[in-house]
Amino acid sequence: MERTLVLIKPDAVQRRLVGRIIARLEDKGLRLAGLKLLTICRDLAAEHYAAHKGKPFYEPLLKFITSGPLVALVVEGPAAVAAVRKLLGATFGAEAEPGTIRGDLALSNRHNLVHGSDCPAAAEQEIARFFTPAELLDYKMSDNRWVSELLPE
């Protein structure tokens, strides 16, 4: 089973969209493995977005992501990284397809509601950045056999 990190960013928290976003992930059949509400510090934000250092949007991104509480969650399921990325939609909300989280709920690039890991290796690193192993739960869902043949019964 694959795990991935999702950050529900401060704009989504301020717009009271957390429950709707989590519901979309659960509706897909993904299982919550970890969940927390936190405000991240600049150092953690800089580590998380290190790949963008030096780009024109880097400083505004750090200011935005540290501006208020966000919800960090780990979701699990078959091909979870790809499934989440598809659910989130294109980075630019105005360009995201209807039916995706950003396509239905966002217009902006900077205020694009959510972050999702872009590959399994990144997911592993990002999860470790926000969660300790003890904060991640492993349990079975009673509807597994109805969600995917790849899930244990």
The CATH number that applies at residue 12 is 3.30.70.141
Structural domain includes residue 153: no
The DSSP line for 8-52 is E-HHHHHTT-HHHHHHHHHHHT-EEEEEEEE---HHHHHHHTGGG
Number of structural domains the chain divides into = 1
- Give the integer Cα–Cα distance in Å for 66 and 53: 16
Q: How many residues does the chain have?
A: 153
Q: Which of 48, 52, 111, 115 is catalytic?
A: 115
The parent domain of residue 125 ranges over 2-138
Q: What does the pLDDT read at residue 13?
A: 98
Q: Please compute the mean of the pLDDT values over residues 73-100 and round it to a whole number.
A: 96
Predicted pLDDT at 117: 97
Q: Put residue 136 in one of left, alpha, beta given phi > 0 → left and psi -120 to 50 → alpha.
A: beta
pLDDT at 96 over 90: yes
Answer yes or no: is 144 within a domain.
no
Decide if 145 is inside a domain.
Answer: no
Instruction: Say whether pLDDT at 135 is over 90.
Output: yes
- 111 annotated active-site: no
